[in-house]
A and B are shown apart, each in its own frame.
Chain A
Amino acid sequence: MSVMTIVKAINNALDIKLKEDENIVIYGEDVGVEGGVFRVTEGLQKKYGAERVFDSPLAESGIVGTALGMAVSGLRPVVELQFEGFTFPAFNQILSNVARIQNRSRGKYKAPMVIRFPYGGGVNALEHHSDSPEALFAHIPGLKVVIPSTPHDAKGMMITALESNDPIIFMEPKRIYRAIKQEVPDEKYTLPLDKARVVQEGSDITLVAFGAMIRECQKAIVMAEEAGISVELIDLRSIYPIDREAIRTSVRKTGRMIVVAEAHESFSVGSELIAIANEEAFLSLEAPPRRVGGFDTIVPLAQGEPYYIISPDRIFYEIEKTIHF
């Protein structure tokens, strides 16, 4: 066991798989010599050489498009897009080709590749460095979209992603890249990419969240428990496909659900989960399931950001509202 941050955990996962599978290559802007602006790929070029871990030209569509070419011809590329705000030049390649090649070729070609990038706000950053676009990717058939919230999960899920024959969008919550340290096994292990995790059990209300919001929910739960409310917290982990079973089981038990997600509230993962709660647990509902999300506005710069980013107080406020419905 070693103490790892999410950055270290992903680095470790990449290291383990690079060693094991010679078909894995890693590239993107600044990932080679510098080891990535967040140091996620640090040390890997030195260890595995510039043919396997290298810097690419500044062209996101090219990074993803060439990766697809590699993926259909025997390699397993892991490409980094530097921030979520810069995934959009590659969106066409992702939506039109990466997600579709398997269907278009009736299974003759697959896209075993991972597209990874940091996302999320709460870091006082510039524009395009604080967004949460998971719903945009989740709405593209043919992709898998996952978001770990702990170092343990980040490592296990990345290893599984590198063994998957489907294209994975691996979103890394940058706010907690280094804010959580956890003891993580040194050896290889995998975690399922389609299962949510019950972070803690409860009986009065289900909170569903992912990424950096898990921590914020946990802080809110402290307040809720003081008020005598028993909260069940679910870390979704997989945005597509969603673990419907986990939602069904939990909401049938508690009868109440709140989804906590940074992204703009409308047309979000929260909206999807409410549809699922409705379909799977309608007869058990004690209160309307709610989504707590960002406004349908651009994430403000640092001074305005505290209004936007969901705080534990706000989560507790929503819990109370729902309990007393």
Chain B
Amino acid sequence: MNHIFNFPDLGEGLEEGTILEWYVKEGDKVKVGDPLVQMETDKVVADIPSPKNGVIVALHGKPGDVIQVGAPLAEIEVEGSGHVSTVAKEDPRIAATEATVEPIAEGEDAAAVVGTMEVAGNDGLLAASNEGAPSAKETGEPQRKALATPVARALAKEMGIDINRVPGSGPSGRVKREDILQFGSGFVTQPTPTGTTENHAPEDVTYLPLTQIRKTIARNMLHAKHNAAHMSVFEEVEISALKAVIARYKPIYADKGVKLTYLPFIVKAVAQALKHHPQLNSQIDAENNRMIVRNRRHIAIAVDAPDGLVVPVIRDADRISIFEIATQIGTLAEKARNRKLTLEEMKEGSFSITSFGSIGGIFATPVINYPQAGILGIGRIMKTPIVKEDEIVVGNIMPLSLTVDHRIVDGGETTRFLARVMGYLSDPLSLMMDES
């Protein structure tokens, strides 16, 4: 069996050498260590010794030839099989490169390099780096991933639930064990008060499954009641002037396909008032010890959808026209009824309005749309006797029920805000003429 002896790197990262003189010829017998050839490199002139015992069968080059490191130098017919290889065992799993690994034979410059070193060939270069100065890395859009403790993740896995689908009620939207349990089994985890666990005769009750929307509303209402300090203030505002404006513009808007009601004005009035009373447009962030004041006024309006209550948002209500607000109300309400509202259309509300008067009810104690600071309820508008310049006249009264989170805002500011809203509603022109 022939051993092909390749020109080794003499331990200095060389790439090539020149043959100066052969010490052997074809047919010569050689022992391990016998000098075969004298090579000249950039750094040294060196004798290259034989790695094997055997007979020279071929020499690859003559004096003056340039040989690349790793290219064949000579071929030796190796004697017997008792020869112990001194070549370092290369891990066969390492991807083959053009590298040569040659042992340092005795007598060579062993002090220069310890052990065996891999030397890269000239093929297979590592790609050049374009990192010269620290540049901001472009991160791709991060996938939406649920935040959860390993315990919660284990639970979700156990229950066969994809945790990324579970809405989280914990800090920063963290998915908690309770959320997973609710999502999966549909049962409320806290002990129920009287009644529901009693045994009923089958014909006395009907069981209906809890829909997703009902569960969500239930959870949200409870969460709001538990966490916000609900306080309600009730007021009445005389809106004859506004009624006249609506009567006048209703047909004009209708021509443009937009339904004009009191609601757009209420939305605008609230948005404008929030500019003067930003406390009611804020949220508590207890975890970070701070109040988050919303700088934009996204007004959420409660819509009675077939399944239940949904609250789409009119964004930047203070910056858009009554026409635009009315248009959006129409669109959103339609979508809500058809269950076509998107997440985009429901997020980031900073204050809510719930108008129930058309159905019925004068005053109410609306529940805060957590984590907002306030919600304004609009009751049934009625013709009512009022006192005007010490005389009894017929007035158009719109009842207002304002609930606020008393953690965020106190009574004084609450009533000032309400007074301002009332001011805009009773005198629509003041809304247009407002200095803010």
A contacts, CB < 8 Å to B: 1, 3, 5, 7-8, 34, 37-39, 83, 123-126, 129-130, 150-153, 156, 174-185, 189-192, 195, 197-198, 201, 203, 219, 222, 249, 252-253, 255, 282-286, 302, 306, 311-313
Contact = CB atoms under 8 A, between A and B. Distances in A.
Interface in B386-404: none
Nearest to B132: A189
21 contacts: A5-B120, A34-B112, A126-B115, A130-B115, A150-B126, A152-B131, A178-B119, A180-B126, A181-B125, A181-B126, A182-B127, A182-B129, A184-B128, A189-B133, A191-B131, A191-B132, A203-B143, A253-B143, A282-B150, A311-B91, A311-B93
Given A283-B148, A312-B93, A312-B94, 10 more contacts: A38-B112, A130-B115, A175-B118, A178-B118, A181-B124, A189-B133, A190-B133, A255-B145, A285-B150, A285-B153
A197 B130 CA distance: 12
A179 B143 contact: no
A188 B134 CA distance: 15
Given A3-B125, A123-B116, A302 B134 contact: no
B358 interface: no
Given A179-B120, A180-B120, A129 B13 contact: no
A191 B9 CA distance: 31
A151 B117 contact: no
B147 A283 contact: yes
Contacts of B127: 182
Given A123-B114, A123-B117, A153 B147 contact: no
Given A39-B13, A181-B120, A283 B174 contact: yes
A174 B128 contact: no
B12 A192 contact: no
Contacts of B93: 219, 311-313
Contact of A156 (B113, B117, B132): B132
B101 to A, nearest CB: 9
A185 B130 CA distance: 10
Nearest to B103: A124
A189 B133 CA distance: 8
Contacts of A197: 131
B118 A219 contact: no
B216 to A, nearest CB: 22
B286 interface: no
A179 B9 CA distance: 12
Contacts, number: 118
B117 A175 contact: yes
B99 interface: yes
A302 B128 contact: no
Contacts of A176: 118
Contacts of A219: 93-95
Contacts of B99: 179
Interface residues of B, number: 44
Nearest to B116: A124
Interface in B99-115: 99, 111-115
B153 A179 contact: no
A126 B111 CA distance: 12
Contacts of B112: 34, 37-39
A183 B126 CA distance: 7
Nearest to B98: A181
B153 A286 contact: yes
A182 B117 contact: no
A222 B94 CA distance: 12
Given A39-B13, A178-B119, A181-B126, A282 B149 contact: yes
A8 B13 contact: yes
Nearest to A37: B112
A184 B127 CA distance: 9
Top-10 shortest CB links A-B: A125-B115, A123-B115, A283-B147, A182-B126, A183-B128, A179-B118, A152-B129, A124-B115, A125-B114, A181-B120
A204 to B, nearest CB: 11
A177 B120 contact: no
Given A312-B94, A313-B93, A181 B115 contact: no
Interface string B74-98: 0000000000000011010111010
B190 interface: no
Contacts of A37: 111-114
Q: Identify the interface centre among B89, B125, B128: most chain A CB within 10 Å of its CB.
A: B128
A34 to B, nearest CB: 8
B248 interface: no
Contacts of B174: 283
Given A7-B13, A179-B119, A179-B120, A124 B88 contact: yes
B290 interface: no
Interface in B166-192: 174
Contacts of B142: 252-253
A261 B53 CA distance: 41
A317 B143 CA distance: 27
A178 B88 CA distance: 17
A156 B130 CA distance: 12
Contact of B114 (A1, A129, A183): A129
Contact of A38 (B113, B139, B140, B143): B113
Contacts of A190: 133
A181 to B, nearest CB: 5
B122 interface: yes
Contacts of A8: 13
Contacts of B124: 181
Contact of A5 (B13, B89, B95): B13
B165 to A, nearest CB: 15
B137 interface: yes
Contacts of B140: 201
A137 B222 CA distance: 55
Given A38-B113, A178-B118, A195 B134 contact: yes
A242 to B, nearest CB: 16
A255 B116 CA distance: 39
B117 A174 contact: yes
Contacts of B131: 152, 156, 191, 197
Contacts of A284: 145, 147
A252 B114 CA distance: 42
